[in-house]
Structure 1
């Protein structure tokens, strides 16, 4: 790359950063700069042809041979940049702190130009920290990748280390130029040794720190719609499909935010009570996965339910903070630019912060929301939108997700009532009458249906039974797998072959041949023709449905259709096209089968009587199948995913089968969900059961049913996560016997929010000593005003869990390490902070290493792949005595314990608000 790209990103009249130019002559310097930006990474730079060839190594270099570290190629930098150390203002390109972490010379093997072109560069480093032979290997570029992605790999030599050795990144943390830490550089502290680098160097790019100002318009004015390409980029959050964002791309949802309009008259700003409480306020999340409704065969008709109109539009979450608004779809895509008028209306609300759930619609002449009309408005650039709002998740520093729905709606109604008179916001009111009567009137009015909600329920992300939808017309989403051209046309669609996903396969459900206008038929052709493939994407096709004039496509496009039932073989009957669904991923499109409403009401009653009176906002309970008290073989839970070979025995000694494990998870779903849902997972898979070959899997691949398992891109690593009981059962199908979790969520992978101290006793350590150790960890934490929770490991020890408001991984690990080492220093005859097995005889290893990025601990309520099927079980602190056994509860007897409990020992873990103290 030339230096043009580098220069375009910076304003040299306002920053001391070197403009630089390509140097003459040949040099062999290299530099590594530790860059604490939005995501901590290491900038790896090699001098070649008068510039610094640059890569952003997301997890930093590793000295373990064969361990691959993703290195995203970035723009060339001038040689002068190799001496930069300082702070980049927040909100700017690469905003954060930069440290000169290493420097030296590099020696390429052969011609480096040939290696770069070929995609395999081999070289030796002679640095102050990095030494020995290395490889840079270019990965195959995937569709949507904006940058070339490489892998940085250490060769085995005298400078290499094993996985058990200390991590160089943690061992060597100071600048080679100034001797300062990242925090000291950020604070502008004086260099600890002589240097020619400015201690507080600050540079600024051409990106402005505030969002672009969008003036508020009068109601009669209309904002023109962005060009299709621009709108598509906004919908994808600035990335191509399947692309990876460079660590240097310092974007956020604020980049497209619409600011609040200035007041009509100037005046002295008032300090609101919300502003006074800001320092103690609960942080508002960037995005909350929405609560989704489950389809039932009829609406609930019992006390405790309220009923709302089912809208026919785009589900949108509006985030208001500091006067700026971001609108996101149900999948977290930023659609602010598509609905600027709605964003302005939200910005005008009298609130400092707010997180609102609702649906953007366009109404037809009868005043009824119409998805086709909404698409037509978007195509025409009209802004006749209405934002029907029905839930409030956060308001002025208060997290409302654990409050009852009735309370949240009352706060929302009050907020909307204070909006300006010309607002596009409309509060979605409800009725508490008979569900059957409300449904009957809705259908008579021509509405799509109703959504019934438990008035006392918290806001639970994911699909569950707190919200139930009852349809008037049968409208569903389908995935397009093929198309037939319209008669007499070569560029318009006449019919679509569609399906839904089932057990990871695209199942054919029929053809849709009506409902197309000339414009939509042409638009469908333009969307589908680039997706053409030679082979049929459906798992199978009925003989009478095979057509030679059908063109097959990749199953990516999702459409909505209305149908008048199905045939006896399950195919669509009289289906009509209604529109393209750009807000839904194809792998999420499953066939909806209504559950009996009686089952829904039984589940609601059971939940109301449950000892877990205060649900976690993260609880994503789904329709809960019944299960036997003993988890052995038996019938599949109603509604559960189909298991192949359900009688396969996983625990031979106690005769627990694959079906038995599925039954166990169904019975404890409400208990385990808050601790596994939307957290990255590491899985112990034993396809042939305990005692057979087992292996750990941390990344997703084709083994799993992607319609039920989340595959989350993390800088090239596909992390595994689940949202529903169906996802957990998919793991059972894949032979997963143990579920381990990260101390973070997939929504904030870089933020640790749960610490785990694993007390691992060495040989000759008594159980009483382990109990004493757990109490000491608890007491030390309590001295720092930190509340902790405890569970059995299902093995030999205990796990102490500390929920907190969030910290970066380095901070979390350093805090836990200090506590572990302090215990070892105060009582070296009892505790050890190092994992060296030979030194652990007679001592307890206070394992803090589970708090590093990518490290995991067994999940609460997960079985262990050990004889007897023990379960890692949460307990109250008063239960931690010499009478407690770490393997006391098993898959077979845990439900007996849960039924006897008067209260969940971990009921308050999600509500704890506490911060880790500094060093």
Structure 2
């Protein structure tokens, strides 16, 4: 199975856009279901004629640490949205939650119209409504945002089961036959209503690829099973990350915004008691933080909401609330004392009663993460408002990727992009030198060639990168040499910067061409997304050649590609000549020049990161900003090894040649 198969089978498409690039929602009349004439068909075994029941309690999946094996199972992508049962009956469309609540009016007319256009008299369809990011992956936080804003142009319904069809009850029909009927019923070209395809390959293989794409996980189903309500074991869910619902028992007000929450205290029910599992301090957009404050401030109470006796640290600043609201939370692991580690809020679950929330038991292990002695002040300060990534969230991200990232940022001169008020703030500083009040874990170091000038900056350990986060550093740009050997670069970075008109497939082709040329020179080539528009092809070097020689080689590479394909490539930074071409930027290889570090966040909407890839992962489905602060740790956990494993071991000296 190719890496892109999971996405390709989901048939990802974006919402329609206006001329200015913004998504739009058409205003149309209310939906009415069509009533075609009854058709004769060969109904599958188990189909029974009868009226459609009022509500069919949904089949639910049991959580297992590993997917089931064997050809008795089929596997589907696990979506990140709201489970709904859609009923087409007597010319009307109804959308019911998993508890039977009528949510028909929540999702706008376009999805309803898609169901109304189906050639059926009556049907009950099981599926999930989602909102997809530009990457193509469904995202619960984005769904919550659209619901709160009254936006309905991005809703997409993925149908995965058919329970009733034109007067026949199908719950006793084998799953694979129900899906075949469902697929024949659904249109191939509707952006709002899509069939959830399944995979017959090994469950472990499907889950591996889903996790590499930072999806939520997958659902495995017995192919010949009947539709059985509740958790009966016919459906198994396997997750790429720890994620479940928790009851909100209190909140701490924001230290950086008025009338907003800064963190939530959450728990789950066990034997009728609400057990405290810790605080969730990131994942809130500005709007979500204010919405939660408004809802929770109406539920405040004096007594402890949890049945545990909280420590003074756990009680600090906490305002208790009646335990009525349920939030979905993604987290790194369970700690030894039963608390959440590195937790992020994903949205309110209005479709699930608080009393139904229990701990989902799963036996998993996670690598030990570094801890820092640096104190984060105002940890709830939001750096990426639309994505809800806070100062604490960025620090959590770096804790999870540090074991991969450290060799590329430690003991190197750094250029830093600081945005104290986040990406939408006015303050924006690109700094190579110290600033007032700089944390002592960020070191000053003298440039040997400029001993009288201002000192440069570096970090030497994990405390250093947390100090950068505390200082609102949202991008990290290191030199291509270490401070152990200032004048001998140990890497070359070639930045492929495409014009907006260039197709992503052409950028990938350019990266492969660079790889071939580097390998022809006896050098290794590694690739990473830029987190912006393009790709970086990076070559490790044995540090023997000087800056002038390394930059000269990089220029020769760019010039030769441009000379061979002037219609496709450009080796100069002239924007007027870049239309339809890729600028091969070699200038990052001079002394004092920098390139964004592997795994560094980018100070742009989306909270993308510069992500190292294996060459086999470089596909059209994984664009330059696909991986983010939120989803990158899930991908890395799914990998059997570092995607740049052996980077420095592959270093070769740059041979002197006449070029």
TM-score, scaled to structure 1 = 0.35
TM-score normalised according to structure 2 size: 0.49
